[in-house]
Amino acid sequence: MPQKESEIARLIDHTLLKPEASREDIQRLCEEAIDYGFASVCVNPWNVSQAAELVRGTEVRVCAVVGFPLGATLPIVKEFEAGEALKAGAQEIDMVINIGALKSGQEALAEADIRGVADASHRAGALCKVILETAVLTREEKVRGSLLAKKAGADFVKTSTGFGPGGATAEDVRLIRETIGSGTGIKAAGGVRTLEDLRKMVEAGATRIGTSSGVKIIEQLRGANPAGSADSSGATGKY
């Protein structure tokens, strides 16, 4: 578990995915990400171009969600959406797996769905993370989904959208790590709101954290009063 503030900050994707997010909200998100040294800002495709301009020249990356939050759009649409987000300045893509295909045992379809986005991401020099939405999956489905993501070329397996019935758990992160081994990243997202939550996820095997509470977490690390710190207004309600 990293101990330095800079190392912990670099684990965090500072997240704002509320549909009503304004340009002012995105500006604040990006300013916070720069000030605190977060790994990325994670936004909807509509907000990518603004975020890319705001973080230009810094180490903060822009992460865009694709097929979000249901994962039920057509594979060609996901690939197109990823491509447009990448052209607008995204450097990381968080796509939602075709959950229905996974649960129906249509593994070839689910794998091809991922591969289209992963290949588009890699052609642009970007990372691809695959969201499983673990709260709606059985243990066996979590294993199959993780293996499909790895096989299709994903750089990370991600637990949750933050819009589903549940978020990340240490148990799910541990299961994913046991399934995919050490060569693929894991992003824990959904309900990670405190420094203790972050530590539990990292100890279980997470290498990236998706949260709208990044400011609060770093202020907790500094020993400040969490209630008095400036938490991002970008909370989805579940992230």
- Catalytic site positions: 94, 158, 187
Q: What is the DSSP letter of 38?
A: -
Checking DSSP bridges between strand 208-211 and strand 92-96, what pairing results, if any?
unpaired
In which residue are the tokens 């990372």 written? Answer: 127
* Neighbour count for residue 140 (Cβ, 10 Å): 8
The answer for residues whose C-beta is within 8 angstroms of residue 66's C-beta and 6 or more apart is 45, 78, 81, 82, 85, 93, 94, 95, 96, 117
CA atoms of 168 and 45, how far apart (whole Å):
23
Are residues 160 and 135 in contact, defined by beta-carbon separation less than 8 angstroms? Answer: yes
CA atoms of 86 and 44, how far apart (whole Å):
12
What the block records as the tokens of 31 is: 């300013």
Are residues 130 and 97 in contact, defined by beta-carbon separation less than 8 angstroms? Answer: yes
CA atoms of 158 and 150, how far apart (whole Å):
11
* Neighbour count for residue 188 (Cβ, 10 Å): 31
